[in-house]
Amino acid sequence: MNITINPAKKCRVALLLSFILFISAHSFAQKPADWQLEKMPAALETDFALSALPPQLRPAATVYLLDPNKGYYVARKGSNGAICYVTRTGWEWAKFRNDVAAAIGFDAEGARTIFPVEMDVAAMRASGKYTALQIRNTVIDRIRKGIYKAPARTGISYMLAPVMRVYPGTPADQLVTTMNMPHYMFYAPYLTNTDIGNIPDGRADGPVVINAGALFLGARKSPYGYIILPAGQTEKAKIMAENKDLLKRLAAYKPYFNTEMGGMKH
C-alpha cells in the first residue's frame, strides 16, 4: 500500500523536527557565560602587579599583563627570574566572575611550574570557547596526566600588594572578598595543615596550608599547595602607607577595591 504525504505537510514536519533539534541542542549545550573580562588600564595593572613583589625585586622583574581577548603577554622583560601579574580567574571555583583581581609574584621556580597553569586558564577563558567548569576539568585532567607539575624545590610566591579581591575560602563557599592582607606563600605541594601542626585544620592564628585544588584531586594529590604567612603588623603598615596612591587609583577604577569603610568588603 502506498501512502502519499502532502508536500506542504512534509515540509512542515521537517521544519518542526529541525526546530526541536535546534532547541534541544541549545538547551543542553554548556555556554561560557560572562567569560569576557574588561581590560585594566595598562599603567594601573603594571603598578598593581609590581606591588605584589618586595621592592628589591621589582626593578628587574618580568611583568605580565592580561589581554582579555588573548591571555597574558610580556609587557616588560626582566632579568632576575621573578615575575608578577594580576590574576583574574580562580579556576578551582569553576565560575566566571568579573570582580576577582589579585596581584601575584613568583620566583623562578613558580614561574616555571605554576604560572603556566595561569597562562593556559587565561587563554582558555579569553577564547570564549570554554565554560568555567570545562576549564577546571581541563586543568585537573592535565595535573593527573603530569602535564602540569609541582614545584621541584622550595620557593616562594609573593602577594604583598596592599589589597586583593579573592575567594578567601574553599570552592564550596563561592564568596568573594576584598581585603588588605599582604602575605607570603611558600610552596607546599601535597602538604596538609596537619603536616605543619595547624590543627584543628586551618585555624587562622598561625601559618596555614591553602590548597583549593585538593578538594577535587584529594588531600595529597594537588601539587599547588602553599603555606601562607601574613606579613607582620609593622611590615603591613609600611606596605599600606607606601601604596596609598595605588589604593586610591584602584578604588577609583573599581569601587570594590575600596576597603576604607572596614578593611574587608564582600
Per-residue pLDDT of the chain (266 residues; tens, 9 = 90+): 444 545 444 444 333 333 323 333 333 334 566 889 999 999 999 999 999 999 999 999 999 999 999 999 999 999 999 999 999 999 999 999 999 999 999 999 999 999 999 999 999 999 999 999 999 999 999 999 999 999 999 999 999 999 999 987 766 667 899 999 999 999 999 999 999 998 887 777 779 999 988 988 998 999 999 999 999 999 999 999 999 999 999 999 999 999 875 445 65
- Percent of the chain that is helix, strand, coil (3-state, to 5): 40, 20, 45
Q: Which of 60, 49, 58, 125 is nearest to 90 (CA)?
A: 125
Q: Which long-range contacts (CB under 8 A, 24 or more apart) does 235-240 make?
A: 235/182, 236/180, 236/182, 239/160, 239/162, 239/182, 240/162, 240/180
pLDDT of residue 264: 59
Question: If you ran DSSP here, which 8-state letter would residue 93 be given?
Answer: G
Report domain extents, the chain.
Answer: 42-166+232-254
Going by their DSSP bridges, the two strands 83-87 and 62-67 should be labelled as parallel
List the grid coordinates of 45. Answer: 595593572
Q: Tell me the torsion sign for CA atoms 149, 150, 153, 156.
A: positive
Asked if residue 121 lies in contact with residue 158, where contact means CB atoms within 8 angstroms, the answer is: no
pLDDT of residue 172: 67
Q: Which of 71, 64, 69 is nearest to 42 (CA)?
A: 64
pLDDT of residue 6: 53
